């Protein structure tokens, strides 16, 4: 293929691509949970069936109206009755009621988002 034709094709693709093309591929996973105000609530368990625990997103998570804690636990997962897992626990701020959002940011704009209905 002619080098000039390749460069022209790349220039056209670059011009036609939206400025946010890199973030257009980002995805968000939404999960809904319920919790009592101020009470620690188990909202998720991460496990890696390939062999080792894969800590979610370098252990970072953000809650708008509460806190998030991680606890290692042994549970039955992936056919292994003694799989090491990582539980995620959410606690709302004392007295908060409504919907809170817990976000686990990932690379390339991806995120796991939990909507927590706090009563």
Question: Which CATH number characterizes residue 84's domain?
Answer: 2.60.40
How much helix, strand and coil, in percent to the nearest 5, is found in the chain?
A: 20, 50, 30
State the average pLDDT over residues 67-91.
Answer: 88
Count: domains in the chain: 1
Which range marks the domain in which residue 113 is found?
26-118
Q: Residue written as tokens 């946010």?
A: 20
Does a structural domain hold residue 1? Answer: no
Q: How confident is the model at residue 18 (pLDDT cuts 50, 70, 90)?
A: very low
Does a structural domain hold residue 9? Answer: no
Does a structural domain hold residue 83? Answer: yes
- Given a cut of 50, whether residue 103 has pLDDT beyond it is yes
Q: Which residue spans within 49-105 are E strands per DSSP?
A: 62-63, 66-77, 80-92, 98-105
Does a structural domain hold residue 41? Answer: yes
- How does strand 62-63 pair with strand 98-105? antiparallel
pLDDT at 60: 79
Does a structural domain hold residue 11? Answer: no
Does a structural domain hold residue 13? Answer: no
């Amino acid at each position: 293929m002619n080098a000039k034709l390749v460069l022209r094709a790349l220039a056209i693709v670059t011009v036609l691509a939206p400025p946010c093309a890199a973030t257009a591929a980002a995805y968000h996973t939404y999960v809904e949970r319920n919790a009592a105000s101020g009470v620690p609530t188990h909202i998720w368990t991460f496990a890696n069936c390939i062999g080792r625990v894969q800590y979610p997103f370098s252990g970072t998570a953000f809650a708008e109206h509460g806190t998030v804690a991680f606890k290692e636990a042994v549970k039955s997962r992936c056919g292994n009755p003694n799989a090491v897992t990582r539980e995620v626990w959410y606690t709302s701020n004392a007295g908060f009621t409504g919907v809170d959002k817990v976000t686990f940011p990932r690379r390339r704009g991806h995120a796991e988002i939990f909507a927590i209905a706090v009563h």
